[in-house]
Structure 1
Amino acid sequence: MTQHNMQVRGIHKGFGAFQALDGVSLDVEAGELVCLLGPSGCGKTTLLRCIAGLEKQDRGSIVIGSRDVSNLPPQARDYGILFQSYALFPNLSVAQNIAYGLSGDSREVVRARVSEMLELVGLLGSEKKYPGQLSGGQQQRVALARALAPKPSLLLLDEPMSALDARVREHLCGELRQLQKNLGVTTLMVTHNQDEAMLMADRIAVMNQGHVEQYATPQQIYNQPATPFVAEFVGQGNWLPFACGQDGSARVGGLQVQLPQAKALQQGRLFCRPEAVVINPHEGIDNQFHAQMRDVTFLGNRCRMNFELTDLPGLTLQAELSPEAMPRLASQDIRVALPSSSLQVFA
């Protein structure tokens, strides 16, 4: 398949008084898989539909490769799409579903392409079956094969895993990602599931209220969230309010804390991931607090511990460790640390 990049510039879309998209811009590199991630109503599906030509943006442009497709009808935009519901034709066989977008080709070309797609998605031998005879995972593979059969420049995925159970979803996420890499097809995927986005994406656009809050790699989204919304939406986190005194030192409650860098803020919030909390730290680690352990939850590959800070009643911390790294606690009174290198400062 020929690889194409895509540029989305200043897309606005309103529905009456509701502004679904407010100046969204994205660059998607050729062969890249980008996830649009966010809660329901954030605008991610509306953006996908504008790119597909299923909705008409109020302002802005969409360029795929060197073609400005902003005002073209869907059939002229050269993309394949996989819907949340798969949208297979129940009265057509698997082979007929896959061949649906190949009607302009000769019978021999269509037959060869269908066989190629069936082999690609691991369904050789199922060509005569009907969608109702397939599992959810198999239906998804057929829908994907149909989307890829015309060799599109762009693949659009609208919540493609939402109808599958957790185990099948994780397995197919890996398969779909490997298939996308092998084909090199530029792909835009909508999801509200952060695990899917983290597993599959080269880059993630985290959306909120019609805006892109951060557009970065999964590692950057998780480790350096750009806004409080991204920090709260992706993964778990701890928040502690701080204020700076007249001497410039920062304090959480009555306790002095070391910030990761100088900030021109009189007050704000400190953020860190649960796995960054150090339990029973050595003396060289900064930002140590007395704490009382309230509970431990076993989560299979990790343990989640909740603490209340002794000197700051009402402030709690969450820490996560592997079961093997769980400390043997002689009592509930321990020390925890929030190393300044693991903190982020938000206004």
Structure 2
Amino acid sequence: MTVDPDSLLVTATPELNARIGAWLDHLGDERRLSDKTLVAYERDVRQFLRFLTDHLGGTPGMAELRDLRPADFRAFLARRRRAGAQSRSLARGLAGIRSFLGFLERRGEVNAAAAGAIRPPRQPRSLPKPVSAADARAIVSGELAMEAEPWIEARNAAVLTLLYGCGLRLAEALSLTGRTAPRRGTKTLTIRGKGGKERIVPVLPVVCEAVDAYLKLCPYTPEPDGPLFLGARGGPLNPRLVQLAMQKLRSALALPDSATPHALRHSFATHLLAGGGDLRTIQELLGHASLSTTQIYTEVDTARLLEAYDKAHPRR
């Protein structure tokens, strides 16, 4: 990955800019991070360099990075906080800076201990907001006739059914091709998720039926190596159109704004857990790298149990 020319407007020495380019290439080629993540990481590092320009009174280069102290990072976080940055943004920014300095440290060019000595801001823990099982069924049914074209209605229903029935991310569903489409008789799908990690997910018959219904009505034939889900003109389906479809369904079903396409993935996990699924299996189905990420769904389930208890107990 090359350095964005516009980002060079942020003052930094040519040597330092070259190191940033090498770091981004490493993240993209070897770590296989998405372009969206790379852009965010570069933005965070450039923001830090902009701060150093004011903080140190000159153009930052490799020598300035070698001389950084914990106090410099605290001053950066304090300035960002005064500018209105929230804890999540501060923690993400610090993670990007640490990644860059760690890359340089492995090359023997700086010591990253100063950045490592800073504790990230504590983040408020927000629980996923799944929809109920009944609402999820209504969303994926395709029976509300929200679209003028029946094939587009069937397409949207097929995408949403994949999110709820297989626990896919929207990008994962839209990455399916004509060759990998779950058709009648398909038992499993191999999904490539974040960081290029592959996982195998079981496919319910209702998912295959939804995809078959879409393909039967679709006026275009997806190419074997082309996208399965197509837009009105036959090109790849824009994820924004799925989000807009979900917005219409939200309105029709009187659901809260938290009922997004991704909420169907949360619902998949929460409903499996409520039905007796174990965390380790759910972790594998979701493609989470860490079990701690999956454990948040136990808090969702507990919160719902306590809410039901408070409403129903005779001594409330």
TM-score range, shorter chain: under 0.3
Structure with bigger gyration radius? 1
Q: Which has the higher helix share?
A: 2
TM-score, length basis structure 2: 0.25
Give the structure with the larger strand fraction. 1
TM-score (norm 1): 0.23
